[in-house]
Structure 1
Amino acid sequence: MNKQSLLWSAKGIFIAAFLSVNTITYAQKGAENKIITEKSLESILEKNRTYYIEGKVADYIPELGKMDAKAIAFSVVAKNGKIFNSGDVHKKFTMQSISKIIALMIAVNERGEADVFNKMGYFGTDRPFNHFSNLETTGKPLNPMMNAGAILTTSLILGNGEKPFLKILDMVRYITKNPTLDYSKSVYESEKSTGHRNRGMFYLMKNNGLISGNEDQLDNYFRQCSIELTAEDLAKIGYFFANQCVRFDGDATYKNKELARLVQSQMLIAGMYEFSGEYARTVGLPSKSGVGGGIAVSVPGKMGIGVFSPALDQHGNSSAGYHMILDFVKQYDLSLF
């Protein structure tokens, strides 16, 4: 090889090396920008803290009306169960409708999907969570995420008396690995004494032959809604369903890919009530809200997100919670779409 050829060869190696180094540096820099830290959660939380002003704490259940509207928490359980927290992460609140995804899991495990969904639909809705929807016409709830379907789902869990509720409580304790979790007796009593609309749904379904038991079954529903937990617990629940029903610490006792898909599909189409369609467009992740101010989010195959802020928007979803999720999903490009 002559001198000129050697020179060009050396230049080629140098240029290739230069491009290689800079590509790696760029990739590493991009990766660093995508790393989740508690600082990044704190930044998102502080940015959206004041959205509570646009909402209102649920007071149709008197005990819920006592919550501090300014309370706010943000939790993420990322790959390999690593936990990141920000805000009032030790503040407890009641699950409310988020308990519906746990009840659905248990009912389907016990009875099979075909049996459960023979009594209700897979449909989304443009109606509020406590709407009677088509109970007066077809006689069946639209889906297991609205109150009517959720009440029916809990009634399908095997066992007498409090047994179905205790199964739900035990499952929440297992998923969160938090055996101290319990339900709020005061919230339960408050829900029971004011839950006449839910009682009406119960008796309509009983009249339609979907429910054969007594009000003990409805009481179990009120109890499950009253289970108290934290934003971190919600993130663990989100992680569980995002990862084929495998717990954040790797425990695969209930691993079930199809069941996780079923639950997440219902979360996606109906988990945020009549806001679910718009939420799928803006956030694009399976999520379940509760009027206690919590939202549990599953990022399929990746992580779980839990947020808490008790001031609700007009749809019954946490106002600040929604905006924290929205910013987080945009920053880390997590939407399914």
Structure 2
Amino acid sequence: MKKNSFLFSAKGIVLASFLSLNTITYAQKTAEVTPISEKALNSILEKNRAYYTQGKVADYIPELGKMDAKAIAFSVVDKSGKVYNTGDVSKKFTMQSISKIIALMIAVNEKGEANVFDKMGYYGTDKPFNHFGNLETMGKPLNPMMNAGAILTTSLISGDGEKPFVKVLEMVRYITKNQSIDYSKSVYESEKATGHRNRGMFYIMKNSGLISGNEDQLDNYFRQCSIEVTAEDLAKIGYFFANQCTRFDGDITYKNAETAKLIESQMLTAGMYEFSGEYSRTVGLPSKSGVGGGITVSVPGKMGIGVFSPSLDQHGNSFAGYHMILDLVKQYGLSIF
């Protein structure tokens, strides 16, 4: 009898533990699938709206300095492809460095990852986005997210004249399913007129043999940075890479798990420049910012997030945008860590 009692007791403990674990697992899953609503997004937006007062609109490119510092928008595309918007969602702004992930995808699709990364590194950095990095010492850009690497990436896209830029523009239009997207000619002209630092990087790489073309290739980079989008467009871009290069409406024309992993890993490693390490600790999601005030975020296997607020912190990232993302991640447990 004692032996049987012990067995029943042991089974009871195991069963209780199993039920307890299942309850925890169920609770975790329930928390994960708590539906996002525009009301919840608006609450987060309003909580963080005032952060714009602590930052500064980029003015080293004169046209960017004309942006309304108070403008703010928040967008999410959930797993099913449903879009949630709040704030100034119709407000257009230039992609700037967010265009780098699109150019990288195209270059890798055309040339292969090994060929592209033979010319640059996978490294993170503690330097700003426009730093020369190790161009003058090792001769190669640190990564494709800093300006030097991005200029090189765009130069690797095949085609003469504006063709590489057109490929980037068409890919942005495809991913967002928004054929009205175009680039701002005034921002492009402003970037070209003031882009002497980028021009210096271009010629150092040309001198070292990494780039063989002329300044048309640099102009393509300036143009891609000048592509105008909305926060919703950024959320759709985030969704695309979060779901193995599948579009938010289910279109799988470019589906490629390896390409998505590459892009997301670069976003996580260097997408927020020298703030990337701290951002990985606090937000824990692949993200790419631009000095136009936008940030696109991928929640792997799930959703895409897009934010916009042109007032930037000292790293060149949207001040209010970062805090909106941080609050959303905490509220819905979205970090990959």
Structure 1 length as normaliser, TM-score? 0.91
Paired with 2:150 and 2:32, the residues of 1 have a C-alpha distance of 42
Q: 1:211 to 1:40 in 2, by over 3 A?
A: same
Which residue of structure 2 lines up, in the alignment, with residue 85 of structure 1? 85
One-letter amino acid of the counterpart of residue 220, structure 2: N
Which residue of structure 2 lines up, in the alignment, with residue 204 of structure 1? 204
Which residue of structure 1 lines up, in the alignment, with residue 15 of structure 2? none
Paired with 2:29 and 2:105, the residues of 1 have a C-alpha distance of 41
Paired with 2:87 and 2:93, the residues of 1 have a C-alpha distance of 14
Paired with 1:29 and 1:39, the residues of 2 have a C-alpha distance of 22
8 A Cα contact 2:75 2:83, kept in partner: yes
Correspondence list, 1:41-60, <5 A: 41-60=41-60
One-letter amino acid of the counterpart of residue 288, structure 2: K
Q: Tell me the secondary structure at the aligned position of residue 109 of structure 1.
A: helix
Deviation at 1:84, TM superposition (A): 0.3
Which residue of structure 2 lines up, in the alignment, with residue 64 of structure 1? 64
Residue 296 of structure 2 is aligned to residue 296 of structure 1: yes
Paired with 1:276 and 1:204, the residues of 2 have a C-alpha distance of 26
Paired with 2:32 and 2:143, the residues of 1 have a C-alpha distance of 41
C-alpha distance after superposition, 1:111-165 (max 9, x if no partner): 0000000000000000000000100001100000000000000000000000000
8 A Cα contact 2:32 2:333, kept in partner: no
Which residue of structure 1 lines up, in the alignment, with residue 311 of structure 2? 311
Paired with 2:58 and 2:150, the residues of 1 have a C-alpha distance of 19
Which residue of structure 1 lines up, in the alignment, with residue 272 of structure 2? 272
Which residue of structure 2 lines up, in the alignment, with residue 336 of structure 1? 336
One-letter amino acid of the counterpart of residue 334, structure 1: L
C-alpha distance after superposition, 1:213-242 (max 9, x if no partner): 000000000000000010000000000000
Which residue of structure 1 lines up, in the alignment, with residue 95 of structure 2? 95
Paired with 1:171 and 1:238, the residues of 2 have a C-alpha distance of 14
Which residue of structure 1 lines up, in the alignment, with residue 112 of structure 2? 112
One-letter amino acid of the counterpart of residue 253, structure 2: T
Deviation at 1:34, TM superposition (A): 2.4
Q: 1:316 to 1:111 in 2, by over 3 A?
A: same
Deviation at 1:28, TM superposition (A): 11
Higher gyration radius (CA): 1
Which residue of structure 2 lines up, in the alignment, with residue 12 of structure 1? none
8 A Cα contact 2:168 2:224, kept in partner: yes
Deviation at 1:206, TM superposition (A): 0.2
Residue 229 of structure 2 is aligned to residue 241 of structure 1: no
Please list every run of 5 or more consecutive structure 1 residues that lacks an aligned counterpart in the other structure.
Answer: 1-18
One-letter amino acid of the counterpart of residue 79, structure 1: K
Q: Tell me the secondary structure at the aligned position of residue 80 of structure 1.
A: coil
8 A Cα contact 2:31 2:332, kept in partner: no
Paired with 2:100 and 2:50, the residues of 1 have a C-alpha distance of 29
C-alpha distance after superposition, 1:276-304 (max 9, x if no partner): 00000000000000000000000000000
Deviation at 1:53, TM superposition (A): 0.5
Q: Tell me the secondary structure at the aligned position of residue 81 of structure 1.
A: coil
One-letter amino acid of the counterpart of residue 75, structure 2: S
Which residue of structure 2 lines up, in the alignment, with residue 137 of structure 1? 137
Q: 1:242 to 1:29 in 2, by over 3 A?
A: closer
One-letter amino acid of the counterpart of residue 166, structure 1: V
What is the RMSD computed on CA atoms of the aligned residues? Answer: 1.9
Deviation at 1:197, TM superposition (A): 0.1
Which residue of structure 1 lines up, in the alignment, with residue 213 of structure 2? 213
One-letter amino acid of the counterpart of residue 77, structure 1: V
Which residue of structure 2 lines up, in the alignment, with residue 73 of structure 1? 73
Which residue of structure 1 lines up, in the alignment, with residue 251 of structure 2? 251
C-alpha distance after superposition, 1:236-293 (max 9, x if no partner): 0000000000000000000000000000000000000000000000000000000000
Count matched residues. 317
Paired with 1:281 and 1:31, the residues of 2 have a C-alpha distance of 21
One-letter amino acid of the counterpart of residue 156, structure 1: L
Structure 2 length as normaliser, TM-score? 0.91
Q: 1:33 to 1:238 in 2, by over 3 A?
A: closer
8 A Cα contact 2:37 2:84, kept in partner: yes
C-alpha distance after superposition, 1:149-185 (max 9, x if no partner): 0000000000000000000000000000000100000
Deviation at 1:100, TM superposition (A): 0.0
Paired with 2:161 and 2:149, the residues of 1 have a C-alpha distance of 20
Q: Tell me the secondary structure at the aligned position of residue 80 of structure 2.
A: helix
Q: Tell me the secondary structure at the aligned position of residue 245 of structure 1.
A: coil
Q: 1:135 to 1:34 in 2, by over 3 A?
A: same
Runs of 4 or more consecutive aligned structure 1 residues displaced over 6 Å after TM superposition: none
Q: Tell me the secondary structure at the aligned position of residue 90 of structure 1.
A: coil
